[in-house]
Chains A and B, each alone.
Chain A
Amino acid sequence: MDSPRLHWMRGRQEEGPGVPRTLEWIGCDDAGEAIARVVRIRGPVSTGWRQYWAVALDEEARVVELRPTPPEGAGWLAYIGGQVVGRAALPLQAVRTAEAALGAD
Chain B
Amino acid sequence: MAGTPLEKIRNIGITAHIDAGKTTTTERILYYTGMSHRIGEVHEGNTTTDYMEQERERGITITSAAVTCSWKNYQINIIDTPGHIDFNIEVNRSLRVLDGAIFIIEGVAGVQPQSETNWRLADRYNVPRIVFINKLDRTGADFFRAVDSLKEKLGIVPLSLQLPIGIEDKFVGVVDLVEMKAIVWEGGELGAKYHDEPIPAELEEQAREYRQNLLDTALSVDDAAMEEYFENGDVSVETLKRCIKAGTISGAFRPVLCGTAFKNKGVQPLLDAVLDYLPSPVDVPGIKVAAEEGEDEHADRRIIKADPNAPFAGLAFKIINDKYGTLTFVRVYAGTLKSGDTVLNTTKGHRERIGRMFQMHADKRQEIKEVSAGDIAAFVGLKDTGTGDTLASPEDPVILERMAFPVPVIDISVEPKTKESIEKMSIGLQKLAGEDPSLRLRTDQETGQTILSGMGELHLEIIIDRLKREYNVEANIGAPQVAYRETITRPYTETYTHKKQTGGAGQFAEVKIVFEPLERNQGVQFENAVVGGAVPREYIPAVEKGIKTQSETGVLAGFPTVDFKATLVDGKYHDVDSSALAFEIASKAAFRDGMKKASPIILEPVMDVEVTTPQDHVGDVVGDLNRRRGMIQSQESTGSTVIVRAHVPLKEMFGYISDLRSMTKGRASFTMQFHHYDPLPRNLADEIMAKSA
Instruction: Please name all residues of chain A whose beta carbon is closer than 8 Å to the beta carbon of B208 when the two chains form the complex.
Output: 1
Interface assignment of B223: CB less than 8 Å from any CB of chain A: yes
Interface readout for A76-95 with B: 1 if CB under 8 Å, 0 if not? 00000000000000111100
**Within the complex, what minimum Cβ distance (angstroms) separates A16 from chain B?**
15
In this complex, which of B208, B212, B234 has the most chain A Cβ atoms within 10 angstroms of its Cβ? B212
Which residue from A1, A9, A91 sits with its C-beta under 8 Å from B234? A1
Interface assignment of B229: CB less than 8 Å from any CB of chain A: yes
Chain B interface residues (CB < 8 Å from chain A): 208, 212, 215-217, 219-220, 223, 226-227, 229-230, 233-234
Task: Tell whether, in the assembled complex, residue B233 and residue A9 are in contact, meaning their CB atoms are under 8 Å apart.
Answer: no
On whether A7 and B216 interact (CB within 8 A), knowing A21-B223, A22-B223, the answer reads no
On whether A3 and B233 interact (CB within 8 A), knowing A25-B226, A92-B226, the answer reads yes
Given contacts A1-B208, A3-B233, A22-B226, 6 further A-B contacts (CB under 8 A): A1-B233, A21-B223, A25-B226, A90-B217, A91-B219, A93-B216
**Within the complex, what minimum Cβ distance (angstroms) separates B21 from chain A?**
32
Task: Tell whether, in the assembled complex, residue A9 and residue B227 are in contact, meaning their CB atoms are under 8 Å apart.
Answer: yes
In this complex, which of B219, B226, B230 has the most chain A Cβ atoms within 10 angstroms of its Cβ? B230
Instruction: Please name all residues of chain A whose beta carbon is closer than 8 Å to the beta carbon of B229 when the two chains form the complex.
Output: 92
How far, in angstroms, from A7 to B232 measured CA to CA in the complex? 11
How far, in angstroms, from A47 to B216 measured CA to CA in the complex? 32
Instruction: Please name all residues of chain B whose beta carbon is closer than 8 Å to the beta carbon of A9 when the two chains form the complex.
Output: 227, 230
Task: Tell whether, in the assembled complex, residue B215 and residue A92 are in contact, meaning their CB atoms are under 8 Å apart.
Answer: yes
Q: Give 22 pairs: A residue, B residue, CB < 8 Å, sorted on A.
A: A1-B212, A1-B234, A3-B233, A4-B230, A4-B233, A7-B230, A8-B226, A9-B227, A10-B223, A10-B227, A21-B223, A22-B223, A25-B226, A90-B216, A90-B220, A91-B216, A91-B220, A91-B226, A92-B216, A92-B220, A92-B226, A93-B216
How far, in angstroms, from A46 to B253 measured CA to CA in the complex? 27
**Within the complex, what minimum Cβ distance (angstroms) separates B425 from chain A?**
57
Number of residue pairs A-B, CB distance < 8 angstroms: 33
Instruction: Please name all residues of chain A whose beta carbon is closer than 8 Å to the beta carbon of B227 when the two chains form the complex.
Output: 8-10
> Chain A interface: which size bin?
10 to 19
How far, in angstroms, from A39 to B68 measured CA to CA in the complex? 47
Interface readout for A16-43 with B: 1 if CB under 8 Å, 0 if not? 0000011001000000000000000000
How far, in angstroms, from A76 to B556 measured CA to CA in the complex? 67
**Within the complex, what minimum Cβ distance (angstroms) separates B215 from chain A?**
6
Report the 9 A-B pairs with minimum CB-CB distance, sorted nearest first: A92-B216, A8-B230, A90-B216, A22-B223, A3-B233, A90-B220, A93-B216, A91-B220, A1-B233
* Chain B residue, CB-CB nearest to A95: B230
Instruction: Please name all residues of chain B whose beta carbon is closer than 8 Å to the beta carbon of A21 when the two chains form the complex.
Output: 223
How far, in angstroms, from A6 to B640 measured CA to CA in the complex? 38
Instruction: Please name all residues of chain A whose beta carbon is closer than 8 Å to the beta carbon of B216 when the two chains form the complex.
Output: 90-93
How far, in angstroms, from A93 to B223 measured CA to CA in the complex? 15
How far, in angstroms, from A4 to B223 measured CA to CA in the complex? 17
In this complex, which of B219, B223, B233 has the most chain A Cβ atoms within 10 angstroms of its Cβ? B223
How far, in angstroms, from A92 to B213 measured CA to CA in the complex? 9
Which residue from A3, A7, A92 sits with its C-beta under 8 Å from B219? A92
How far, in angstroms, from A91 to B221 measured CA to CA in the complex? 10
* Chain B residue, CB-CB nearest to A93: B216
**Within the complex, what minimum Cβ distance (angstroms) separates A46 from chain B?**
17
**Within the complex, what minimum Cβ distance (angstroms) separates B216 from chain A?**
4
Instruction: Please name all residues of chain B whose beta carbon is closer than 8 Å to the beta carbon of A22 when the two chains form the complex.
Output: 223, 226
Instruction: Please name all residues of chain A whose beta carbon is closer than 8 Å to the beta carbon of B230 when the two chains form the complex.
Output: 4, 7-9
How far, in angstroms, from A93 to B219 measured CA to CA in the complex? 11
**Within the complex, what minimum Cβ distance (angstroms) separates B276 from chain A?**
21
How far, in angstroms, from A10 to B231 measured CA to CA in the complex? 12
